[in-house]
């Protein structure tokens, strides 16, 4: 039976190790990236998209990658399909990278794998710029060129005719600075628009001050026009002279995404993924050059500000894709949209032993060392379990004591309620404590002592037939309560011995493992006759691991023991104080001198209806 169980565990480990076979064994590191549109309230379909993956120190180990990012690869969730991508920027010095990856059919459960950590011959830059975008994308400007016209990343060669002013630190890498001058996009077959055609235009913009009729993008031909701009901080789209209604002013000195979608006889304007305005007109037929940051019409001015990531498609992108682009490329919600997993090492679940100090130590451990560390591991688990459970129990004790003492302080002036025969009335301190309070007080040692004391007082009142208690009876009551205190103290101190054993025994067990390991190491060297540092060091390091394990058991147990002991002492002191207070109150309340006064001022308690605890 035991052999079958062990075989099952080994098979399960092997299956788990190979459940997600690596796309290529030459890549040593991979990281899972989960994409969840629902996390940012995108319920509409997104479809295929070129997804921007921002890499930084928090989600990528630049030290393990090649300097130019040549070993980066993206693979679909099936761990087989390689995804097209291209790197816009990879800076191993500043630890910053912007990578565009084509992901098909984005859904809430979408995930991709990021592979890197390969210095082999296969790890060369494999950017597929054209393949990153779908066939409907006809122009994409990253504005990463410096002193040169913007290049088209869509593969349609719609490069800009003239260079603009390039700036660093834009929305995504480099960007374009506009200050009245314009950048011309030549006419081409792929940029030709027919009447009523579908089209999507998008870009990131930032301005420092509102301008009247500032044109961001324009296209005119034979009296027909298509213009996108800002009028005193409000974005607009203008079709043949018909302008969209003025929306709320956009905040300056911040990046915003503008998107225009034409289709079904309507042109809609979006700002940061949200609907902003529209024009009830179809896209006009145009095949003329386009201008970025300027217009040929009189009365319009050039846009002053920054622009980045200009994209034009010959399809009307769905609202889900517009929202996804706005959030994924620069929104504050991008952190919720993408979830980066931890780095996983290549091959099997034991592959991490192949390198590093810890791997050398563990591989050099002898059987006796593993036995000692295993025992110490069990001790650590038990001691931590005791500390956690005991701390939780003491928390309940503290809450119960606090609840009881709060009500007890209100009844000490008149203890006549303890003379009733209703046990529930006594437990609830004369009906003052409700069911919730009683549930808290069940863990209170002081409450338990109180119940024992009240029971003893009532028995003596009934047995004596009088309303007084003699000094001898008071001593008997105290003795009974002291006995309860001892039992409650034993309960508080239960299992604490496990921590003392861990504190004292852990280091000695670790030392035993170290001594035996050192003996075996030197015996092996003597038998082999090979005396060098490489032969001695791994064995000594592995032997010392047992001592480290012993200290790892003892040190937390020592801190936990002292902390719990102080709390137990506090609880025990509270019980001693309560017993003294209770006995004193009983002696005073049931003395001969106090009897007449007590019954003159305290009416007999009314019967209390039983309550369910």
- Going by pLDDT thresholds of 50, 70 and 90, the confidence category of residue 437 is confident
**For residue 27, which of 91, 96, 88, 79 has the smallest C-alpha distance?**
79
- Going by pLDDT thresholds of 50, 70 and 90, the confidence category of residue 3 is very low
Contact between residue 167 and residue 306 where contact means Cβ atoms under 8 Å apart: yes
- Going by pLDDT thresholds of 50, 70 and 90, the confidence category of residue 523 is confident
Contact between residue 131 and residue 102 where contact means Cβ atoms under 8 Å apart: yes
Residue 436 phi/psi, 5° resolution?
A: -65, -40
Contact between residue 260 and residue 219 where contact means Cβ atoms under 8 Å apart: no
Q: Helix count (H) and strand count (E) of the chain?
A: 12, 23
Tell me how far apart the alpha carbons of residues 142 and 160 are, in angstroms, rounded to a whole number: 12
Do 179 and 196 reside in the same domain of the chain?
yes
Whether the per-residue pLDDT at 73 is higher than 50: the answer is yes
Tell me how far apart the alpha carbons of residues 113 and 83 are, in angstroms, rounded to a whole number: 10
Q: What is the mean predicted confidence (pLDDT) over 549-574?
A: 93
Per-residue pLDDT reduced to its tens digit, 456-503? 888 777 655 566 777 888 888 889 989 989 999 999 999 899 999 999
Let me know if residue 306 belongs to a domain. Answer: yes
Report the predicted TM-score, pTM, of the whole model to 2 decimal places: 0.56
Q: Which of 319, 343, 375 is the last residue of a domain?
A: 319
Cα four-point dihedral sign 205, 209, 213, 215: negative
Do 247 and 120 reside in the same domain of the chain?
no
Do 206 and 222 reside in the same domain of the chain?
yes
Tell me how far apart the alpha carbons of residues 290 and 188 are, in angstroms, rounded to a whole number: 10
Let me know if residue 234 belongs to a domain. Answer: yes
Whether the per-residue pLDDT at 598 is higher than 50: the answer is no
Do 145 and 236 reside in the same domain of the chain?
yes
Whether the per-residue pLDDT at 530 is higher than 80: the answer is no
Q: What is the total count of domains within the chain?
A: 2
Instruction: State the DSSP code for 584.
Output: H
Do 125 and 147 reside in the same domain of the chain?
no
Whether the per-residue pLDDT at 547 is higher than 60: the answer is yes
126: containing domain: 29-132
Q: Which of 90, 108, 132 is the last residue of a domain?
A: 132
Q: Which of 86, 117, 132 is the last residue of a domain?
A: 132
Contact between residue 305 and residue 205 where contact means Cβ atoms under 8 Å apart: yes
Let me know if residue 377 belongs to a domain. Answer: no
- Going by pLDDT thresholds of 50, 70 and 90, the confidence category of residue 326 is very high
Instruction: State the DSSP code for 354.
Output: G
Q: At 448, list the tokens.
A: 């338990």
**Secondary structure element (H or E) that encloses residue 512, with its range:** helix 496-528
Whether the per-residue pLDDT at 524 is higher than 80: the answer is no
Percent of the chain at pLDDT exceeding 70: 85
Distance between terminal CA atoms of the chain?
Answer: 47
């Amino acid at each position: 039976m035991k052999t079958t169980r062990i075989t099952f565990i080994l098979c399960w480990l092997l299956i788990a190790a190979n459940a997600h076979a690596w796309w290529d064994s030459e890549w040593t590191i991979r990281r899972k990236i989960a994409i969840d549109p629902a996390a940012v309230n995108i319920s509409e379909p997104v479809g295929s998209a070129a997804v921007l993956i921002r890499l930084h120190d928090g989600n990528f180990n630049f030290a393990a990658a090649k300097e130019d990012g040549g070993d980066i690869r993206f693979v679909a969730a099936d761990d087989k399909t390689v995804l097209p991508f291209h790197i816009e920027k990879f800076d191993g010095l500043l630890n910053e990278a912007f990578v565009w990856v084509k992901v098909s059919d984005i859904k809430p459960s979408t995930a991709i794998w990021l592979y890197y950590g390969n210095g082999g011959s296969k790890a060369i830059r494999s950017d597929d710029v054209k393949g990153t975008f779908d066939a409907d994308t006809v122009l994409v400007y990253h504005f990463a060129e410096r002193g040169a016209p913007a290049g088209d990343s869509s593969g349609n060669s719609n490069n800009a005719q003239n260079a603009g002013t390039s700036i660093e630190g834009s929305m995504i890498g480099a960007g374009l600075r506009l200050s009245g001058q314009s950048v011309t996009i030549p006419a081409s077959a792929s940029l030709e628009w027919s009447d009523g055609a579908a089209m999507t235009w998008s870009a990131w913009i930032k301005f420092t001050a509102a301008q009247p009729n500032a044109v961001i993008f324009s296209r005119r031909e034979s009296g027909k026009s298509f213009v996108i701009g800002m009028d005193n901080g409000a974005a607009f789209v203008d079709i043949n002279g018909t302008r969209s209604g003025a929306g709320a002013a956009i905040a300056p000195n911040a990046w915003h995404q503008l998107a225009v979608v034409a289709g079904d006889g309507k042109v809609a304007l979006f700002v940061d993924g949200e609907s902003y305005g529209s024009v009830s007109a179809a896209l006009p037929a145009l095949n003329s050059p386009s201008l970025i940051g300027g217009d040929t019409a009189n009365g319009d001015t050039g846009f002053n500000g920054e622009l980045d990531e200009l994209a034009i498609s010959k399809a009307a992108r769905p609202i889900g894709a517009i929202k996804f682009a706005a959030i994924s490329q620069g929104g504050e919600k991008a952190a919720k949209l993408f979830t980066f997993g931890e780095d996983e090492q290549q091959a099997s679940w034991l592959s991490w032993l192949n390198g590093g100090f810890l791997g050398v130590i563990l591989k050099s451990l002898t059987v006796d060392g593993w036995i000692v560390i295993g025992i110490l591991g069990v001790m650590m688990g038990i001691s931590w379990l005791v500390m956690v459970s005991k701390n939780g129990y003491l928390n309940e004790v503290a809450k119960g004591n606090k609840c009881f003492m709060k009500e007890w302080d209100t009844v000490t002036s008149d203890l006549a309620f303890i003379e009733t025969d209703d046990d529930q009335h006594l437990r609830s301190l004369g009906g003052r404590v409700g069911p919730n309070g009683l549930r808290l007080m069940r863990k209170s040692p002081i409450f338990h002592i109180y119940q024992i004391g009240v029971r003893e007082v009532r028995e003596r009142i009934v047995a004596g037939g009088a309303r007084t208690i003699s000094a001898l009876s008071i001593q008997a009551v105290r003795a009974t309560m002291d006995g309860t205190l001892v039992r409650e103290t034993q309960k508080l101190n239960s299992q604490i011995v496990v921590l003392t054993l861990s504190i004292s025994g852990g280091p000695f067990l670790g030392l035993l493992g170290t001594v035996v390991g050192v003996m075996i190491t030197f015996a092996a060297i003597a038998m082999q006759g090979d005396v060098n540092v490489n032969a001695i060091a791994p064995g000594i390091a592995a032997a010392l691991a047992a001592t480290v394990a012993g200290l790892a058991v003892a040190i937390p147990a020592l801190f936990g023991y002292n902390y719990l002991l102080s709390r137990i002492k506090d609880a025990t002191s509270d019980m001693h104080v309560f017993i003294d207070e209770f006995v004193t109150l009983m002696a005073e309340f049931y003395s001969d001198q106090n009897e007449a006064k007590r019954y003159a001022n305290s009416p007999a308690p009314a019967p209390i209806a039983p309550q369910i605890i």
